[in-house]
Amino acid sequence: MRRARCRARAGQAGPEPGGRGATGPRCRHVTPAEGSDAAATVGDLVAAVHREHWGRVVAATVGTAGDLDTAEDCAQRAFERALETWRPATVPSNPVGWLVRTARNHALDLHRRGG
């Protein structure tokens, strides 16, 4: 079933059973469409992950950051780092996990620096 969803997201198959089409960047098997600009593809992936998982990244960071405002700042920095470092060949297999870890690491760095 998972591979079927992956193929659907990559445009290789029709919608999932149940009548709903698959959307979102949850699958590592998705590759850029032919003729697409690779930078735009990574940007689109980051934008889609942001839309779907912003709250999850912030929520997972609040405990480390100590407050909601700092957690949001750390999450935003994680998304910025994703745009700076991800390339089509180097997008992590678990983008949300990467973002959570990066946001938490940034929160720890802020805590160590005292602010």
| Shared-domain flag, residues 11 and 59 | no
Q: Are residues 109 and 87 in the same domain?
A: yes
Confidence of residue 42 (pLDDT cuts 50, 70, 90): very high
* pLDDT surpassing 80 at residue 88: yes
Same domain for 45 and 88, yes or no, is yes
Global pTM reads 0.66
Does residue 109 sit in the same domain as residue 63?
Answer: yes
* 36 or 24, which is more confident: 36
Q: Is the pLDDT of residue 27 over 70?
A: no
Domain count within the chain: 2
Domain housing 25: 1-30
25 and 50 within one domain:
no
User: Which pLDDT value is given to residue 114?
Assistant: 87
With a cut of 80, say whether residue 2 has pLDDT above it: no
Query: 42 and 71: one domain?
Result: yes
Query: Are 26 and 39 in a shared domain?
Result: no
My answer on whether 76 and 92 are in the same domain is yes
Q: b or e along 46-67 (b: 16 or more beta carbons within 10 Å of the residue's beta carbon)?
A: beebbeebeeebbebbbebbee
Same domain, 21 and 71: no
Cα distance between residue 109 and residue 105, in whole Å: 6
Residue keyed to tokens 């942001």: 50
The reply to whether 81 and 98 lie within a common domain is: yes
In a shared domain, residues 59 and 26: no
Query: Does residue 18 sit in the same domain as residue 64?
Result: no
Does position 21 have pLDDT exceeding 90, yes or no? no
